[in-house]
Structure 1
């Protein structure tokens, strides 16, 4: 719980910092972070690197576009696993008949509900939003179906900021479960880190600070496309750096807005952003 709740607050703080920029790539009016979380994000990460890592706002903005594209294509079921303090369902104007399910640990959902209540009218989604309190290491799919999830319908799965904290076997198990619940034409948006980040000298102070707080990355992928193929998905993957400077042999997809060159930072080559689908 410590790792999950801590990083949820930090990513909210990172989105808030991006929103405050004049040249922002992401605008997130409901970030739900506390002053303590803002200070921790600054002390543990920003002050060490000299900047707020761009992966969080880039991932969030492109995730917004994934959800919009899915809704425009008629998908009416979105499931966000380890939703944390993500406010995507609040900042997007989604169809009223779209079911948006947010799955996370009970304690985190309770804390999130309190912060949403404090946010007031701005925290009211346009679509049908449902929370599912569950541990993703357990039998969570039954709770998902009890909340109205239909495994026969096309689904967009959003798995942001979770996979790096799982060991390789747990990643595989989770993605196989998600695939088993996915009807033909379903989609997946997720992220992971490249294992080279663990040996990057400039990133070592950040990893040391994270370890002191019990916030640890447990795995990485050198080839997300092959990894997802093994779990039943057809995938494409980009690093944040690769999207800031598009590569001819792996261009962005049509729904992706241009990622600003300023996001090419010393860590942006280690973070994968992954879009996948079922046949």
Structure 2
């Protein structure tokens, strides 16, 4: 673990985020409990956090993202979701840690190596719902069509792309958006979404190490959720990471001071700051 940049590829970022879930779980006032996170992250996950600039102090947006997505997942399930299609699922242990109904169908999709790593470490655990592991490369059009067709068989479908889109090119996201609407027939799409302002902020802090590890940040549309409208999606809910960090008491160091100073800014600039990063729920428009 002496490598100055232990991130080897995009899949390693799942180890990184798992450490943040472990850190939150170990708090006495934890927002959620993921008892599997430390085991899943392993030594490499901790090495990544230690190597990243301000690695530990920057846990807050990932913790907020996890907590808010947990809330939205549970609400969509209560509203009738029968299948969850979790793309680039990484080390997401929600089927094991959330009180999901037994009849819910959860498709855990990722690259073969990642699926093998996760399933091997969770082999002695029992999920709360019907969990299916699917090893597939979503960059392959045929594989994508097969998985999405399989998901559409038991709707309504909720799609999760937590921590995925930022690593894709806009054209790849456009293809994904069209396929999720037209082939998977998904009703909801849960994602995290950043703005160009966020990418610019992270360029100096994290981008060099991520690029060296073949995991550069790429997708942050200037039009925000409007990017998805041509593919049949509308914004149903936008939860600002900044606002949610105060609601959940997991804001950045010095966040309260920044919040006070923001009141001096014009309303348009404050709103841009709110939407710099968020957890988004899209809903499918009916096909014409």
TM-score normalised according to structure 1 size: 0.83
Are the aligned partners of 1:193 and 1:220 in contact in 2 as well (CA < 8 Å)? yes
Is the contact between residue 152 and residue 182 of structure 1 (CA under 8 Å) also seen in structure 2? no
User: For the structure 1 residues 210 and 52, does the alpha-carbon distance in structure 2 shift closer, same or farther, using more than 3 Å as the test?
Assistant: same
1:78 alignment partner in structure 2? 84
Q: 1:140 aligns with which of 132, 138, 143?
A: 143
Partner secondary structure for residue 171 of structure 1: helix
Q: Out of 150-159 and 98-107, give the one that drifted further.
A: 150-159
- Deviations along 1:125-180, one digit per CA (max 9) or x if unpaired, are 1110001111111123443267x533462101011000000011111111111111
Q: Which runs of 5+ in 1 are unaligned?
A: 246-257
Structure 2 distance, partners of 1:243, 1:223, is 22
1:273 counterpart SS class: strand
Q: For residue 99 of structure 2, what is the aligned residue in structure 1?
A: 93
Gaps of 5+ in 2: 1-6, 259-272
The structural deviation recorded for 1:191 is: 1.1
Q: 1:227 to 1:193 in 2, by over 3 A?
A: same
* Cα drift, residue 269 of structure 1: 6.5
Q: Alpha carbons of 1:45 and 1:18: their partners in 2 closer, same or farther (altered >3 Å)?
A: farther
The answer to whether the 8 A contact 1:195-1:220 is kept is yes
Query: Is contact 2:240-2:274 (8 Å) kept?
Result: yes
Alignment of 1:7-22 (within 5 A): 7-22=13-28
State the partner residue of 1:260.
249
Equivalent position SS for 2:152: coil
Aligned to 2:49: 41
Structure number with bigger Rg: 2
Larger displacement relative to structure 2 (220-229 or 99-108): 220-229
Runs of 4 or more above 4 Å deviation: 263-269
Q: TM-score, normalised by structure 2?
A: 0.80
Query: For the Cα contact (< 8 Å) 1:187–1:277, is it kept in 2?
Result: yes
In structure 2, relative to structure 1, the CA distance for the partners of 1:152 and 1:212 (3 Å cut) is: closer
After alignment, is 79-88 or 67-76 more displaced? 67-76
User: Does the 8 A contact of 1:132 with 1:143 survive in 2?
Assistant: no
CA RMSD of aligned residues (A): 2.5
Residues 247-271 of structure 1: CA distance to partner in whole angstroms, max 9, x if unpaired? xxxxxxxxxxx43252585899642
How many residues are matched? 258
Residue 217 of structure 1 aligns with which residue?
Answer: 217
SS in 2 for 1:57: helix
Supply the distance in 2 between the matched residues of 1:35 and 1:83 (Cα, whole angstroms): 20
